[in-house]
A and B are shown apart, each in its own frame.
Chain A
Amino acid sequence: MRHRQTIALLALVGLFVALYLWLHALGFGGAIKCGASGGCEVVQTSQWAVFLGLPVAFYGVAGYFALLAVAILGLRPAALPDRTWSVLLAGLASAGFLFTVYLTYLELFVIHAICRWCVGSAVIMTVIWVVAVSGLRRNDGMMER
């Protein structure tokens, strides 16, 4: 249960980080708040800021929302013993983690700019992945029923 709760809370934070970046990409608000480095604008205005026709941050919103929803649904008393939810969470987290690795590679080696919000999201997604995989190995729901 703790694993799913942790994932839900982390996904909620990640959801709002991605939401901020997505709304900014849609033109809401002024300059992105990014500290002195300003790397966020470089990343957000690069050609890699759009993936399959949609702002990259949109996939973050969708991914974090899916993780949050699955984690919350998996916390229902009836769902707690069911390992399927842990498998689903681990699958989603792995997809999100791989996408995060790809985006971080682009920042470091292609765009040569670091966006602090993206780094924050990458850290959140990495922790979610670690927790989800660890929950899978411990057979989360069954163990803590």
Chain B
Amino acid sequence: MNRFYALVGVLAVVLGIAVFALLRSGGTAPAAAAGPPPTVVDDGFRGYTLGQGSARVEITEYVDFECPVCASFATIQMPTIKEQLINTGRVRWRFRDYPLPIHKYSRFAAHAAQCAGAQGHYFEMQDQLFTHHQWAQTGKDPSDLFRSLAQAAGVDLKAYDACQEAGRYAQRIEFSRQEGDQLLVDGTPTFFANGKKLEFRRLPGSDDFKVIVDSIIAHSH
């Protein structure tokens, strides 16, 4: 019996040390999450787009992946917008990054989406990041979660890891953010229709965009 209690004691100590080691060795987000890169170079990239090149209206959305309003817009309004405006050939939707400095991991999330985009899975990754948006509320390092989301988005993890570790698209994201600054983007999401900034008093819905698009098309005849 005494041997049993000794075994319990030893096991408790070993497990306690193991838990302590696991907590201490918890990874940290890669450099891509840290902040803007020291230098910014224009690589000519102007955002991923949905819709046909011939569409008469182009909506540009400046987006922050950690922003709850952006997530809400993406998951609630965007399906209808896709169905009624984008898939019908009336609108082309362009996504530009605007990671807000108040958000710890938005730059990292934008980078994860770009790394997925390099493999042709930007929109699948965007869906994953917005659909599983709980990560934005925990404040915890989402590195592992993003890997699993990337996997769910069909991304090859080996190439994804290399891309994330190298911070390959950090300059592209910062270029987009600076572009947003020049266009007086002051929050997310901010929308432009054919280059003109749209002002809303509340988060717009699909109906708002339908009215705007109808108006632009009507006036362009």
Residues of A within 8 A of B (CB): 5, 8-9, 12-13, 15-16, 19-20, 23-24, 27-34, 36-42, 45-47, 72, 75, 113
Contact = CB atoms under 8 A, between A and B. Distances in A.
Given A9-B7, A16-B18, A75-B1, 17 more contacts: A12-B15, A20-B22, A24-B140, A28-B23, A29-B25, A29-B26, A30-B26, A30-B27, A31-B28, A33-B25, A34-B144, A37-B151, A38-B145, A41-B144, A46-B132, A46-B134, A113-B148
B217 interface: no
Contacts of A27: 138-140
A11 B25 CA distance: 25
Interface of B: 1, 4, 7-8, 11-12, 15-16, 18-19, 22-28, 132, 134-135, 137-149, 151, 157
A39 B19 contact: no
List 9 A-B pairs, minimum CB-CB distance, nearest first: A30-B26, A38-B148, A41-B145, A29-B23, A29-B26, A16-B15, A45-B134, A38-B144, A31-B144
A64 B25 CA distance: 25
A74 to B, nearest CB: 13
A9 B22 contact: no
**Main SS of the interface on chain B?**
helix
A75 B73 CA distance: 59
B199 to A, nearest CB: 34
Contact of A40 (B18, B135, B137, B144): B144
Contact of B135 (A16, A23, A41): A41
Contacts of A42: 132, 145, 148-149
A33 B26 contact: yes
A11 to B, nearest CB: 10
Contact of B142 (A28, A36, A41): A41
A100 B8 CA distance: 24
21 contacts: A5-B4, A13-B15, A20-B22, A23-B19, A27-B140, A29-B23, A29-B25, A30-B28, A31-B26, A31-B140, A31-B141, A33-B25, A38-B145, A38-B146, A38-B148, A39-B148, A41-B148, A42-B149, A46-B134, A47-B134, A75-B4
B147 to A, nearest CB: 5
A47 B135 CA distance: 11
A12 B26 contact: no
A31 B19 CA distance: 13
B147 A16 contact: no
B138 A45 contact: yes
Given A9-B8, A31-B141, A20 B26 contact: no
Contact of B11 (A13, A23, A36, A41): A13
B114 to A, nearest CB: 19
A16 B19 contact: yes
